[in-house]
Copies of this chain bind each other. A is one copy, B any other.
Amino acid sequence: MAARIGIGLVGCGVVGEALARMLLEQRAEIAARTGLEFELRHVVVRDPAKRRGVQLPGGVVGPDTAAMLADRDVRIVVELMGGTDRAREMVLSALSSGKDVVTANKALLAVHGREVFAAARAAGRCVAFEAAVAGGIPLIESVRRGLIGNDIEAAYGILNGTCNYILTRMLDNNASYAHALAEAQRLGYAEADPTLDVDGTDSAHKLTILASIAMRRSCELARVRVSGIAGIELIDLASGRELGYVCKLLATARQYEDGLDLTVEPTFVPKEHPLAAVAGPFNAVSVYGSAAGHTFYYGRGAGGAPTASAVLSDMIEVASGNAGRVFAQLAVLPDQTPPPAYRPAGETVARHYLRIGLADRPGGIGRIASTLGAEGISIATITQHEPPRNGGVHVVPVIVTTHPVKRCAVDRAIRSMTAVDGVVSRPVCIPVFSDPGGGAG
């Protein structure tokens, strides 16, 4: 006989519908496979009258959480409403009402994670959140449990499918950022308001959660240095390709001797690295552990069914008691771990790509080289193609790659360069990913 587990679902958008469909259509299979029978007892939505893509059982849909919280047969509340403030309130209420919580809400956990985890601990409940980072990829449990014997040196993620889709399509179609974004919106890979995706905020949310678990330190969203892809130019993607690089919005958590670096920014990944091959709306994460060495995880980071797949695996782990044990026993969540020492900004050493718009007059290259030299930056490659010949003063892009150098030196050189005769605009700078190697090579 399968144990019956009452479920309250809050939020029924794309993921909620996919989850409800799985719970309703695969109830018997799931019970046979797991010994657990999930019973969808409440579906809380803003507009109960709205037509949905799934036929929900009569009487379960309602506009507020009171009935769900009062229902003692609801053991697990699944939070798929998104956002921070209302979700925080709802999750805290669910925990204090004795429910375990499964959530896919990265913003909630990035902003209020410590409070939410502490509240769960105080209530003797747990919070599971496999779906909050990298959607359908079983990443969180792989890092939290699978790599528990490792010190994690670094984690690098492509954590936002919208950005990755845009960057991929720009190159594939020789398209501008604006064109690729419009296409992504048309195909449902980008929201009508894509701000939180393209400005890097969504990646920063996920990085905060991932880094906290991987590094076993209570990481602060506010300490992530973030720059997004808005306004990235095709010429840089194409020039990078010529150099053997693929541009990704990379979310980086890397432990150095003098502290942890958390960064989200467009980064050139050498084409041999598995991250470089991640195309379109996919997500992927590289984790470098002291014992396992380099491990890499890839899959769909968003979408109804993939995210619901992760939510359902959490529900099964919660219902079987495993999630609760892991939550109670492993001291890896940010309400139990100390804050990291953060590395000062600018200390990271890497190769850098620079594109400098130069008026086509004698001496420009020399002045650029001198400016870089003054900051101790040594040039690895330099490329200037012949400008179009149609008279007038031309601006030619000069592409420089540097040998490994501290970011602060590059930033200083860029500031100086804007004052250099012939440099017509602020140079574009994209760092190049460097493989940390990892314990086992």
Contacts and interface: CB of A to CB of B under 8 A. Distances in A.
Contacts of A317: 145
A119 interface: no
Given A295-B136, A300-B294, A332 B141 contact: no
B326 A320 contact: yes
Contacts of A292: 136-137, 299-300, 305-306, 309-310
Contacts of A299: 292-296
Interface stretch (A27-35, A218-226, A405-413, A429-437): A27-35
A260 to B, nearest CB: 17
Which are the 3 A-B pairs with shortest beta-carbon distances? A138-B146, A149-B312, A295-B299
B320 A298 contact: no
Contacts of A310: 146, 292
A397 B211 CA distance: 53
A55 interface: no
A297 B300 contact: no
> Copies of this chain, how many?
2
A193 to B, nearest CB: 25
Contacts of A439: 305
Interface string A300-318: 1001011011101100110
A147 interface: yes
Interface in A122-176: 130, 136-138, 141-142, 145-150
A272 B440 CA distance: 27
A86 interface: no
Nearest to A30: B149
A329 interface: yes
A26 interface: yes
A5 B325 CA distance: 17
Contacts of A312: 148-149, 291
Nearest to A18: B291
A216 interface: yes
19 contacts: A22-B149, A33-B148, A136-B289, A141-B141, A141-B142, A142-B142, A142-B146, A145-B316, A148-B313, A148-B316, A274-B274, A277-B277, A291-B308, A292-B305, A293-B300, A293-B306, A295-B298, A295-B300, A297-B298
* Chain A interface SS verdict (over half): mixed
A419 interface: no
A303 B289 CA distance: 14
A313 B141 CA distance: 11
Nearest to A216: B33
A381 interface: no
A374 interface: no
Interface string A413-441: 00000000000000000000000000111
Nearest to A293: B300
Interface in A308-358: 308-310, 312-313, 316-317, 320-322, 325-326, 329-332
Interface string A265-307: 0000000101001010000100001111111111110010110
Given A137-B295, A293-B305, A329 B145 contact: no
Contacts of A294: 298-300
Contacts of A305: 290-293, 439-440
Contact of A329 (B26, B30, B34, B138): B34
A322 B138 CA distance: 17
Nearest to A331: B33
A298 B298 contact: yes
A309 B152 CA distance: 12
A407 to B, nearest CB: 29
Given A145-B141, A297-B296, A305-B439, A331 B291 contact: no
B306 A291 contact: yes
Contacts of A306: 291-293, 440
A229 to B, nearest CB: 23
A284 to B, nearest CB: 8
Interface string A1-40: 0000000000000000010001000100010111100000
